[in-house]
Amino acid sequence: MNFSGTARPNAALASWILVTLAAWLLTGTQAASAATSASPLCTSGGTPSLPDFSPLVARYGPAVVNVEVIEKTPEGGDQGDDPLNQFFRRFGIPAPGGGQQRHEQPVRGAGSGFIVTSDGYILTNDHVVEGASQVTVRLVDQREFKARVVGSDERTDIAVLKIAATGLPVVRFGDPARLRPGQWVLAIGSPFGFENSATAGIVSAIGRSLPTENYVPFIQTDVAVNPGNSGGPLFNLQGEVVGINSQIFSRTGGFMGVSFAIPIDVAANVERQIIEVGHVVRGKIGVTIQEVTADLADSFGLSSPHGALVSSVESKSPAAVAGIQPGDVVVAVDGHAIDHFGELSSRISDMRPGSQATLTLWRDHRDRTVRVRVEELKEPQVAAAGSAARPAPAVRKPNQLGLTIRPLAPQEKAQARTSGSLVVEGVSGAAEVAGVEPGDIILGVDGRRISTVEELESAARRARNKSLALLIQRESAQLFLPITVP
């Protein structure tokens, strides 16, 4: 085709561009629509918005169950949680039947769980079924089954139930290691008995270590979790279970914006061992650890607070044989960095007894590597109730740390079962702020053992205007306390 001039070719070109652009936009819109419909969570109108959890709830909600338990209270047991009894006591009125002989009363409780195999294995929390004489599982379709507690593990708060059924809906497991703070998550459970309730929020933090829990690196979320949610699943946006809702932080007993879930990989390991061998086998190396705070990191020369600080080592334990010492900071296990101190307990406990672990330690301002054999954990490491000898009144004045200390007599050391030589008689100033208490026995400073008052005061002078890590023995436990030296 021949064209004269430039107007017609330009018009034809413009028309071709418009047609091509329209086709490209149409194709892109169709592709985006297809991608959105294929996603487990759709956004409204194809535009960015809050996630729509309804497909997830519809697909996996039927695999979430209500768990009801019945347990017996001892005859004449405490009825203090009964609101009616509290009312009568508050106004000094005898409770009805108060003079009659009490009998065992059934106590009912409820929680949640989720089906992990189509033939009836269910995961929930240990505290949901602890002490239960009867467990009933109710499905979304209102079918009820008597459940058998296959086994439970108090340390991780995991229990495995079994019901006699087949062809059940099941959940899928995800990878908690892929979670990041800020990601959306969804809980399904039975808060206050309202079955199959869904609540959503975001991941607040990962790898949380709670004061009484060293074996679980908890997932912290702001998902509304209340009594009855315990044992229920925590889902990611792909519809995969990444955790089991277990605990809340609350001053009222209700939800206050902070909840914790057990990572599903921890729970799956417990489930497998309970089903296969009937109990959970854990590894240990024989150390007591604590968190590395900013002050402690500064005391030990770490660039940032991370790792697990060893506060004590069991005699003749694998750690002792490997040469691990109080004051060492474990920063990696088998090449995996330890960011939070609870991760060390989790990784070691997951190891098979008899295996070898490679630990990277921070000692004397440099890294070093040790190999340690993992042995089986048989007894919980709980500090025994004991009391250090309380010696005679001190005659020394407080030092610059605010400590009034004196040497221990040989018989006092024997009675306290300690290797330390100095006992705290009085506390003030920086030491009081750090949490040192009268009766504490001083073992070392910044990872080095000390045995004299002069050694302690020399260390304090060297650390002036900085912080030092004071290793103390309190009853039969050891811990580091960071003290800012004035």
66-89, pLDDT tens digit by residue?
Answer: 999 987 655 444 444 444 454 444
Q: Which of 111, 36, 57, 106 is nearest to 77 (CA)?
A: 106
Query: Does 244 share its domain with 327?
Result: no
Q: With 90 as the cut, is the pLDDT of residue 35 above it?
A: no
My answer on whether 257 and 240 are in the same domain is yes
Domain count, the chain: 3
- In a shared domain, residues 184 and 269: yes
- Let me know whether 177 and 251 are in one domain: yes
| CA neighbor of 226 nearest in space, from 191, 186, 188, 190 | 191
423 lies in the same domain as 345: no
- Which one is catalytic: 127, 222, 350, 451? 127
Q: Is 157 a catalytic residue?
A: yes
Q: Which tens digits make up the pLDDT trace of 406-447?
A: 888 777 777 787 888 888 888 888 888 888 888 899 998 888
pLDDT at 361 (0 to 100): 96
- The answer to whether residues 287 and 257 belong to one domain is no
For the ranges 250-254, 267-271, 311-315, 455-459, the lowest mean pLDDT is seen at 250-254
Q: Can you tell me the mean pLDDT for 437-463?
A: 84
CATH number at residue 316: 2.30.42.10
Residue 460, domain CATH = 2.30.42.60
Does pLDDT of 195 surpass 60?
Answer: yes
What is the per-residue pLDDT across 354-406, written as a single tens digit (0 to 9) for each?
999 999 999 999 999 999 999 998 744 333 333 333 444 443 556 778 888 88
DSSP class per residue in 152-204: EETTTTEEEEE-S--S----EE--GGG--TT-EEEEEE-GGG-TTEEEEEEEE
pLDDT of residue 190: 93
pLDDT reported for residue 107? 67
Q: Residue 207 falls within a domain, yes or no?
A: yes
258 belongs to a structural domain? yes
pLDDT confidence tier of residue 214, bands split at 50, 70 and 90: low
Asked if residues 143 and 211 have their Cβ atoms less than 8 Å apart, the reply is no
205: nearest Cα among 232, 229, 225, 185: 185
Whether the per-residue pLDDT at 122 is higher than 80: the answer is yes
112, 152, 153, 157: which is the annotated catalytic residue? 157
- Please write the tens of the pLDDT for every residue from 303-339: 999 999 999 999 999 999 999 999 999 999 999 999 8
CATH code for the domain of 258: 2.40.10.10
Extract the runs of DSSP E, i.e. beta strands, from 249-292: 259-263, 283-284, 287-291
In-domain check, residue 63: no
Domain membership of residue 458 (yes or no) is yes
- Co-location of 295 and 268 in the same domain: no
Q: Domain containing 200: what range? A: 172-277
Which one of 231, 256, 277 terminates a domain? 277
Same domain, 266 and 338: no
| Residue 162 maps to a domain | no
Last residue of a domain, one of 357, 376, 395: 376
Catalytic residue check, 339: no
> Is residue 230 annotated as part of the catalytic site, yes or no?
yes
pLDDT at 138 over 50: yes
Same domain, 350 and 422: no
- The chain-wide mean pLDDT, for the chain, equals 80
Domain membership of residue 364 (yes or no) is yes
In a domain, 53, yes or no: no
Instruction: Identify the pLDDT of residue 1.
Output: 40
Residue 321 falls within a domain, yes or no?
yes
**Who has greater pLDDT, 23 or 110?**
110
Residues 291 and 350 both lie in one domain: yes
Most confident stretch, 149-153, 344-348, 398-402: 149-153
| Of the residues 242, 257, 277, the one at which a domain ends | 277
479, pLDDT greater than 80: yes
pLDDT value at residue 251 = 67
Decide: residue 8, CB within 10 A, 0-12 exposed, 13-18 middle, 19+ buried: exposed
Q: Are residues 365 and 454 in the same domain?
A: no
Tens-place pLDDT, residues 233-260: 999 999 999 999 998 877 666 678 899 9
